[in-house]
């Protein structure tokens, strides 16, 4: 059996519960793929996006929903070693990638400010633009459940707001384009386990700016959140799943304030109109 077939089978056999079922559940529950879609699977070369590409490739073969897929790699300025690793892994996994060049790393390095934010914005723009050029109406990114939890924690602890990473978004700058995250329910530890089981080695961040920042500061805020989640899971193993579930189960009756479509709202707007019939809720 060819290597890529063995790797694909491991997703739907050995890791069916941890990866495949969660992948298909996210697509179904959040309605990420519709008939007639043409989706650009965006591959950075890391474990998450490479697994996403494998899952999308398998889904394309057997899905009852007709859709098309393109596999694109944006090179933001990788060194030769990382570029070669991406190409080699794509060949092993039998993923027909299309690579296009940018100078994002050079631009970000010269800009100053918040490099990760700028880099993410620029990457997104280039990916949307290239996907549109290919006739796609959606781009798929490899963000997983842990990414979402870490985003929530960073927003609460450092931005003073409750804000999550959505499973899908309409683009505000590219009309008709949508971003989807099919790996939304998959745990990072299961992605790591899958890669190790198949003896696969993917590139890491590959950003020299991030490496420099981490050396100077001791780590990024996202890494800090990873460590926080790890510690809290020692106390409660379901800590991350409880946060995930709570974001699907917000009790607006007990929320002091919120923003909707850019407008701020307070519980005082409707407080005097609430009639409490349950005596146990009275002061």
Do residues 142 and 48 make contact, with C-beta atoms less than 8 angstroms apart? yes
Tell whether 87 is covered by a domain: yes
pLDDT score recorded for residue 276: 57
pLDDT by residue (tens digit) across 140-157?
Answer: 999 999 999 999 999 999
Q: How is residue 99 annotated by DSSP?
A: E
Tell whether 241 is covered by a domain: no
CATH number at residue 67: 3.40.50.620
CA dihedral for 48, 197, 17, 233, sign (positive or negative): negative
Q: How is residue 169 annotated by DSSP?
A: E
Tell whether 69 is covered by a domain: yes
Tell whether 263 is covered by a domain: no
pLDDT by residue (tens digit) across 189-200?
Answer: 999 999 999 999
* Tally of structural domains, the chain: 1
Tell whether 170 is covered by a domain: yes
pLDDT score recorded for residue 221: 85
More confident: 104 or 145 = 145
pLDDT score recorded for residue 279: 45
Range of the domain at 149: 3-235
Mean pLDDT of the chain: 90
Tell whether 196 is covered by a domain: yes
Q: How is residue 157 annotated by DSSP?
A: I
pLDDT score recorded for residue 222: 86
Do residues 174 and 130 make contact, with C-beta atoms less than 8 angstroms apart? no
Instruction: Please give the share of the chain, as a percent, with pLDDT higher than 70.
Output: 90
Confidence of residue 99 (pLDDT cuts 50, 70, 90): very high
Q: Is the pLDDT of residue 52 over 90?
A: yes
Strands (E), 44-167: 68-75, 97-101, 138-140
Tell whether 169 is covered by a domain: yes
Which range among 66-70, 103-107, 123-127, 218-222 has the greatest average pLDDT?
66-70
Report the C-alpha gap between 81 and 104 in whole angstroms.
18
pLDDT by residue (tens digit) across 3-49?
Answer: 999 999 999 999 999 999 999 999 999 999 999 999 999 999 999 99
Mean pLDDT of 233-258: 94
Confidence of residue 120 (pLDDT cuts 50, 70, 90): confident
Between β-strands 168-170 and 68-75, what pairing exists: parallel, antiparallel or unpaired?
Answer: unpaired
Tell whether 283 is covered by a domain: no
Who's near 221: CB < 8 A, 6+ residues apart?
Answer: 154, 158
């Amino acid at each position: 059996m060819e290597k890529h077939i063995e790797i694909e089978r491991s997703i739907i056999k050995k890791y069916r519960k941890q990866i495949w079922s969660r992948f298909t559940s996210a697509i179904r529950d959040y309605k990420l793929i519709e008939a007639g879609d043409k989706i650009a699977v965006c591959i950075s070369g890391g474990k998450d996006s490479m697994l996403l590409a494998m899952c999308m490739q398998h889904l394309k073969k057997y899905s009852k929903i007709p859709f098309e897929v393109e596999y694109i790699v944006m090179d933001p300025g990788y060194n030769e070693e990382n570029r070669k690793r991406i190409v080699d892994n794509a060949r092993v996994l039998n993923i027909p990638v299309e690579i296009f060049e940018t100078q994002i790393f050079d631009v970000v390095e010269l800009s100053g400010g918040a490099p990760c934010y700028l880099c993410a914005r620029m990457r997104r723009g280039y990916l949307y633009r290239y996907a549109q050029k290919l006739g796609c109406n959606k781009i798929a990114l490899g963000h997983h459940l842990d990414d979402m939890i870490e985003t929530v924690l960073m927003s609460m602890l450092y931005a003073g707001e409750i804000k999550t990473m959505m499973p899908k978004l309409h683009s505000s700058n590219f009309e008709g384009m949508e971003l989807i995250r099919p790996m939304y329910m998959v745990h990072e530890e299961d992605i790591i386990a899958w890669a190790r089981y198949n003896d696969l080695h993917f590139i890491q961040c590959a950003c020299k700016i991030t490496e420099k920042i981490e050396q100077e500061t001791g780590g990024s805020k996202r890494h800090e959140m990873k460590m926080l989640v790890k510690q809290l899971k020692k106390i409660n193993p379901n800590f991350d799943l409880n946060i995930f579930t709570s974001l699907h189960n917000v009790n607006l009756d007990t929320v002091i304030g919120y923003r909707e479509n850019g407008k701020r709202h307070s519980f005082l707007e409707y407080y005097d109109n609430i009639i409490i019939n349950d005596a146990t809720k009275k002061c």
